[in-house]
Structure 1
């Protein structure tokens, strides 16, 4: 393939496809994420390769992998995308009133436990800005962030989330969300002040699917405790999870972000003994867009809501049974 000339142009939409291919690792998964056909993805990558005059993919068994030239181009693509976001933010700040709409993508228990306080504060602070909320988790959440379908992402650190060092995003940690053990009435451990997770190795478990943040974290926590949970019930709804635990069908881990929703339910929440299992919650925006005054306000109110949650959170596990209402276990 011919090398690049001094005057070449790049279609930024094709760069977006290449960035998504880096995230997804295959043409089929990239196509699914971008709502394209695999053939269309291949054509976009091939066109981009012709534009830059360098091969961007090579065969790898039945699939493809990125070339060294593609990774060089992606490093520049991240810088280009960030600079465009800075330009957008500066133009927004220059115009009277700034942007009129912002979209927040968030996992379900974050919507239940974190967003309400932030949205109430933002309604007073930004009365003329429309704030939309979308329930989503990585990796789809960050595909939406890259594509502009959401402007702010609130997520949990787990394998599907981008690393802290990802140059595409400006991110900030918000809070550590502790997971408590949910036990059915009459369980042998309900009278313990703290529950050793290893003593639940022979119990049946109610867990969200492995691709959800809470499902992934629960499986990881159990593995760290030295066992693989016997997952009999694969449930992505907090009310359904509570109902199964109440019925004695299994035990579960419940994030404190949704603890208040379980008040009055006939099940018992106890802290795990030792270092409590937890998950890190963070907020991210596209690199460069952190200068946008509306997105800056959204991040500030999310941080304030997270700080208030940390201050109000109980220091240990209470002995009250606690209930949920419908919501998915993310």
Structure 2
């Protein structure tokens, strides 16, 4: 059994089309189709069927993926056991993390890891779901730090072992002369008519912000689709609009000329977590990385 072909099948399940699968894996659609055809021939079962102008996985394909998850997890356990034997493990770890997590969560973990594991090189890549988990599946990332939203895998996904890190609360940022800047807490609905500064819909922060506004009973008037937190803060400071900002990016706005206020009622938030491939839990270096991320998150939560 060629495990690379199973990776293609798994990615097709995630992406839902040959074209998107090819783009994610840096292949051509024809190459993806050939890999799936070869895998179907190897197992003697149809793995895809036509659905409109695209394809979907068959029941046989989903059964095969269930077994593939178990095989992948067992291979990861073997790697972890080998890493734990003798000298204590790998010499390099690559962490994929969402942007605001790199700003507020990862640096204290890196400092602690430099003292704890001075022989290990730790690289950080900005990445979000679903691409982050495609890279984790392919071995290009060893740890993913992400937030729960539509593009992230569900808690029940057996391909990953996850550790919840923290609940990151979102506050409202308004210009310092805004009428609501004097409030201790801001009812989100009162900003329904304001111009908004929000990240792209496919980004974790953009998706969460849209969902929070929808839960408050309105669709935001997004005048400035901006993903960079520094640029977003600068636009709020300039009076260009209002925004939801996570407390993870507090260092960016602590001394800026704008007002950041809690949302009235139940505060909106997002859940941040760390994930490794299922079976890699016993890897001593990855265990240390997850432990230091959890410690950094606990310290942030305690600081409020």
TM-score, L = length of structure 1: 0.91
> What is the rounded CA distance, in whole Å, between the counterparts of 1:310 and 1:49 in structure 2?
49
Partner of 2:223: 232
CA distance in 1, matches of 2:177, 2:88: 58
Range that drifts further, 95-104 or 169-178:
95-104
Matched, 1:56 2:47: yes
Question: What aligned pairs does 1:269-288 form with structure 2 within 5 A after superposition?
Answer: 269-288=260-279
Instruction: From the two aligned structures, give the one with the greater helix fraction.
Output: 2
Deviation at 1:248, TM superposition (A): 1.2
Q: 2:121 aligns with which of 113, 116, 130?
A: 130
1:165-191: CA deviation from partner (whole Å, max 9, x where unpaired):
000000011000001100012111011
1:195-214 residue pairs with structure 2 within 5 A? 195-214=186-205
- What is the count of residue pairs matched by the alignment? 304
Is 2:146 the partner of 1:151?
no
Gaps of 5+ in 2: none
Q: CA deviation at 1:261?
A: 1.9
The residue aligned with 2:253 is 262
Which of residues 168, 174, 179 is equivalent to 2:159? 168
One of 71, 77, 81 as aligned partner of 1:90 = 81
Task: Tell me, in whole angstroms, the C-alpha distance in 1 between the residues paired with 2:239 and 2:110.
Answer: 37
Between the aligned partners of 1:210 and 1:146, the Cα distance in structure 2 is 24
Q: Which segment drifts farther, 232-241 or 217-226?
A: 232-241
Name the CA distance, whole Å, in 1 between partners of 2:47 and 2:174.
Answer: 52
Query: How far apart, in 2, do the equivalents of 1:73 and 1:270 lie?
Result: 50
**3-state DSSP class of the match of 1:279?**
strand
8 Å contact from structure 2 (residues 88, 284) kept in 1 = no
Report deviation, 1:131: 0.4
TM-score when scaled to structure 2? 0.99
Matched, 1:119 2:110: yes
3-state DSSP class of the match of 2:255?
Answer: strand
Q: Deviating runs (4+, > 6 A) in structure 1?
A: none
Q: What is the Cα-based RMSD across aligned positions, in Å?
A: 0.6
1:294 aligns with 2:285: yes
Displacement of 1:95 after TM fit?
A: 3.6
Aligned twin of 1:322: none
What is the CA–CA distance in structure 1 between the aligned matches of 2:274 and 2:230, rounded to whole Å? 26
- 1:197: how far off? 0.3
For residue 142 of structure 1, what is the aligned residue in structure 2? 133
